[in-house]
A and B are shown apart, each in its own frame.
Chain A
Amino acid sequence: MRNLNVWLSGRHIVKNVSFEMEDGTVFALMGPSGSGKSTLLRAINRLLDIYEEAEVRGEVILDGVNVYDPAVEPPWVRRRVGMVFQYPNPFPHMSIYDNVAVGPRLNRMARSKKELDKIVRWALEKAYLWDEVKDRLHAPAAKLSGGQKQRLSIARALALRPRLLLMDEPTANLDPVATEKIEELIVELKKEIPILLVTHDPQQAARVADYTGFLYYGELVETGPTAKIFTEPENPLTERYLLRRLGAPR
């Protein structure tokens, strides 16, 4: 993205943010609460468009196309940029199968039931959920545990074969075991789909991300390879944040 600015109800939330991401990597965005991390994420897949109080200026370029070009329609962007949210949110009135299938089905991506079955299976396998649910695909999604629901939400996003996956604090509401599973998933998945991960936990960034950025109240204060950010941060704000969150530097 280049010079991205977002205002919500007049307040300047995202201030002139620019950075780049590459294929095959995980980019983690960390920062204190209220820094605009979630807003930034929603600006990428044009989800902010559904909120009338949001105003966006700047460019977000996906494979050479500016997502905010007037010729581009939001659904086009959202089919190529998947999103996973902080609270596991599968559609409660649908089965596990239907939750994963709904994206491809409504976008007419499968030409037959067999193709759809294949897509669903692929997505669930990538989300490390297939083995646990393969015998009850038509059970209601509401009956899964929190960690399973979140993996189902990931599968739902993956089913559209997105070009980029956005994850907004995906493990914030999960127990450590479920968190670990998803972090494993992320490290494996990045080989196929680049992932932009917003996290409340710098240690998570240290564990899974190749590159990290520090967003401080709307400004992207520092970015760089994760190892460098954690051991030799250039900006005193970054250093202070890490010190406070991690204790003494390792």
Chain B
Amino acid sequence: MSRGRIEASRRLANYLGLAAVAAFAALALAPLFHIVGVVALNGLEAVKRSGLSLLTAPPNPTDPAHPGGIGPALAGTAMLVAVAMLFSVLLAIPAGVFIAEFRRAGVSRLTMLLALILVEFPTVLVGLTVYAVEVERMVGRYNMLAGSLALAIVVLPYMAVQVSEALRHVPKELREAAFSLGVSRLTAVYRILVGVARRGILVGILIGMAKAAGETAPLLFTIGGYFETAPRSLLDPGGAVSLLIYEYAQQPQPGYHVLAWGAALVLLLIVFAIMIVARFFVREVRL
């Protein structure tokens, strides 16, 4: 073949290859765009009818033209996520440090294995267990604390792994520098290395928050699903945005559907907002 022909066939092969890759990429992303598009379009209907009061007003599903809002459910989600994160962050950081720094100890390996298993554990089972232990035996009725506990259990293993990975990625030189200062191991880790790894840890926390905000199964048997008023204390039953979507989508009346779509849009925006903030802190976001 002449030189020109070889060049031409190479160019063609390159072009076809790129086209194929682009096509597959588009195919892979299409469902995401589809979901976002559908939720946005339908959710905007709710926004049109209620405006900003979608976020603050109580629901009024009997009148589809003035459906009210998801205010109490949003307050519920906020309460659940705050309390769940409090529990799980307090436990995940020591757990992550333990896994990362005492790698060879048997207990540490066991912890890492358990964490990895629990990350994929069926969340509905977590909810059921919390129901059996806390709701039935300890409190006697559905309550927000139960929901927070269930969410904390769901999110904790993921964050422990994230913390341990963040610490593992601290470069050897910095680790040696920290130890060469003559402090105890615990001090070197907690006062210096955690600081070095703090971006990775923060991203882990943010993603944990996004997960907690979006989970539904752990809440099914724990918080009760009351969307009309916001819970006044952790021992009251209440609702959450994710649970509202689940409940309202199954109702026959259109007023419920409008609110469900509106809630879906709000939830999507919350998760997106958290992810964008997380992306701002770290170049690579590991899920």
Residues of A at the B interface (CB closer than 8 Å) are 42, 45, 47, 50, 52, 75-80, 82-83, 85-87, 89, 91-94, 102-103, 106-107, 153, 156-157, 160
Q: Does B140 contact A (CB under 8 A)?
A: no
B interface residues, tally (CB under 8 Å): 20
Separation in Å of the A96 CB from the closest CB of chain B? Answer: 15
A interface footprint on B182-226 (CB within 8 Å = 1, 0 otherwise) = 111001000110011010000000000000000000000000000
Say whether B191 contacts A93, CB under 8 Å: no
Q: Which residues of A contact B173 (CB under 8 A)?
A: 85-87, 89
Which chain B residues border A47 with CB–CB below 8 Å?
176, 179-180
Q: Is the CB of B179 within 8 A of A50?
A: yes
On chain A, the residues within 8 Å of B179 by CB distance are 47, 50, 78
Picked from A45, A76, A94, the residue with its CB within 8 Å of the CB of B180 is A45
Cβ-defined contact, A107 with B180, below 8 A:
no
Q: What is the interface of chain B, defined by CB distance below 8 A to chain A?
A: 104, 171, 173-184, 187, 191-192, 195-196, 198
Q: Are B177 and A76 in contact (CB under 8 A)?
A: no
Contacts of A45 in B (CB 8 A): 180
- Shortest Cβ-Cβ A-B pairs, 6 listed: A79-B182, A78-B182, A83-B180, A89-B173, A103-B181, A75-B182
State in angstroms the CA–CA spacing of A89 and B177 once bound together: 7
**Neighbouring B residues of A107 by C-beta, 8 Å:** 181-183
Query: Are A106 and B196 in contact (CB-based, < 8 A)?
Result: no
Closest to B181 in A: A103
Closest Cβ of chain B to A6, distance in Å, is 16
B192 contacts A157, CB within 8 Å? Answer: no
Which chain B residue has the least Cβ–Cβ distance from A83? B180
Distance of A128 from chain B, by nearest CB (Å): 20
Contact of A160 among B104, B181, B191, B195 (CB under 8 A): B181
